[in-house]
Structure 1
Amino acid sequence: MTDVRAPRADAVRNRARLLDAAELEFADRGLDVSVADIAARAGVGKGTVFRHFTTKEDLLATVVVHRLERLIADGERLADTSPAETALFEFVTLAAGQQQDELSVLTATDTVNDQLDDAQSRLFALMERLVADARAAGVLRPDVTGEDVALLICAPGHVAGFAPGRGPDLWRRYLGIILDGLRPEGAHPLPH
């Protein structure tokens, strides 16, 4: 007997195409992109968008959640399979790199829903785990918190954005400075 509550295959396919198209449209054109443009890129009608997402903000929040889910999965894989220092620093590099791509605009969403709130909470819990593991292994200064590291992920791109004529990988230079500053060698106690 078929479960009548299960989504039809074409509806699942359309939702996936909408999410992919929305991610690309938001990246290419920013938050002002129209629902019609997203629908056109996905090859569906505008009504299909609203059958899956009640508002454009709901669609944006879902795209952000999907990005966070991929990042969390990468971080969990690193935490489970790599030495503590490698896991933390590779995760920070992945997350900082994600901030550099054209989709960094997606982190600016003010849309909060339960899914987004849950994904952000799990991301911060992962950061705390990676930091605790690195501290226990003696490869991270003892006064650094998961919140410190989470906030520092955004810094390389922000700083590099002020450089005139910057190259696309300049953020990596500042990430290197940040990662060296997280190591315990030569660290002075942090204020506050």
Structure 2
Amino acid sequence: MTDRTAAPGPRADMVRNRRLLLTAATEAFAECGVDVSMSEIAQRAGVAKGTVFRHFASKDDLLGAIMLQLLDRLTDSAARLLKADDAGAALREFMTVGVEALAADQAFCEVIGRPSLQHTEVRDAIGRLGDIVEDLTARAKEQGAVRVDVTGTDIMLLLGGIHQTAVPLLDTDPQAWRRYLELVLDGLRNPGVRTLPHPPPARLRLSAPPAPS
């Protein structure tokens, strides 16, 4: 007969420790940025420092895993909103969710350009999010809710732009980003015959890192 009170096996311990590490690291990076030490993350998670490196070979690997979590949340949100009847309201909600997520995470914009973004999984996740945001934007254009010359890539870049605009204010006014989001949303509305003076950017497709020489 199986002893149901027995301690969890090694596999269960590994899953639990990885979950604890990701939770602790997400909170630490969000509060303090990417300079948080692996030792502090281990302490927050209640595990030995060696346990961190058994799961994540470097800080960039850990940041990559956290980036994946954020990108997956945004992708799930965008996919859900694709089913909404009011495409304009859906795009507005997605942008609100996106900027709110960035405003709550001090590390996100510090991570842009780091090696963690060169992980295949992270690049693929950005591509998946970009595809869905293009669809979300296309539906909003079809319904006349936003200007016809805006693209999904514009929307993704604007999320970071709105967040960066509000960054100097967030310590004293954590909701300041909402003001700048509203200004951007006003600019996205259909302007009639006016068109933007510059062509849209290329899709956000990160290339693989160059092979070592």
- 63-72 or 80-89, which deviates more: 80-89
Classify the secondary structure of the residue corresponding to 2:47: coil
Q: How does 1:67-82 map to 2 (within 5 A)?
A: 67-82=70-85
**Displacement, 1:100?**
1.2
Q: How does 1:51-70 map to 2 (within 5 A)?
A: 51-70=54-73
8 A Cα contact 2:34 2:110, kept in partner? no
Aligned residue among 102, 110, 113 for 1:108 = 110
Aligned residue in 1 for 2:20: 17
- Equivalent-residue separation in structure 2 for 1:164 and 1:24 (angstroms): 17
- Equivalent-residue separation in structure 1 for 2:42 and 2:171 (angstroms): 36
User: How many residues are paired up?
Assistant: 185
Bigger fraction of residues in helix:
1
**Displacement, 1:157?**
2.8
- Equivalent-residue separation in structure 2 for 1:127 and 1:164 (angstroms): 26
**Displacement, 1:89?**
0.8
**Displacement, 1:156?**
2.3
Aligned residue in 1 for 2:190: 184
8 A Cα contact 1:98 1:104, kept in partner? no
**Displacement, 1:82?**
4.7
**Counterpart amino acid of 2:108?**
L
- 180-189 or 20-29, which deviates more: 180-189
8 A Cα contact 2:33 2:106, kept in partner? no
Aligned residue in 1 for 2:93: 90
Taking structure 1 as the reference length, the TM-score comes to: 0.88
- Equivalent-residue separation in structure 1 for 2:193 and 2:162 (angstroms): 20
CA separation of 1:186/1:180 partners in 2, compared to 1, >3 Å: closer, same or farther? farther
- Equivalent-residue separation in structure 1 for 2:34 and 2:169 (angstroms): 25
Task: Note the alpha carbon deviations across 1:75-127, whole angstroms, 9 max, x for none.
Answer: 111112452112111001111111211x1422432122011111111111111
- Equivalent-residue separation in structure 2 for 1:190 and 1:8 (angstroms): 55
8 A Cα contact 1:35 1:56, kept in partner? yes
- Unaligned runs of 5+ residues in structure 1 are 1-6
Task: Note the alpha carbon deviations across 1:35-63, whole angstroms, 9 max, x for none.
Answer: 11111111111111111111111011101
8 A Cα contact 1:141 1:187, kept in partner? no
Aligned residue in 1 for 2:143: 137
RMSD over aligned Cα atoms? 2.0
- The share of aligned pairs that are identical, in percent, is 43
- Equivalent-residue separation in structure 2 for 1:189 and 1:86 (angstroms): 22
Is 1:147 matched up with 2:147?
no
**Displacement, 1:16?**
0.7
- Equivalent-residue separation in structure 1 for 2:109 and 2:121 (angstroms): 14
CA separation of 1:44/1:90 partners in 2, compared to 1, >3 Å: closer, same or farther? same
- Equivalent-residue separation in structure 2 for 1:65 and 1:165 (angstroms): 26
- 54-63 or 73-82, which deviates more: 73-82
Classify the secondary structure of the residue corresponding to 1:154: helix
8 A Cα contact 2:81 2:94, kept in partner? yes
CA separation of 1:171/1:186 partners in 2, compared to 1, >3 Å: closer, same or farther? farther
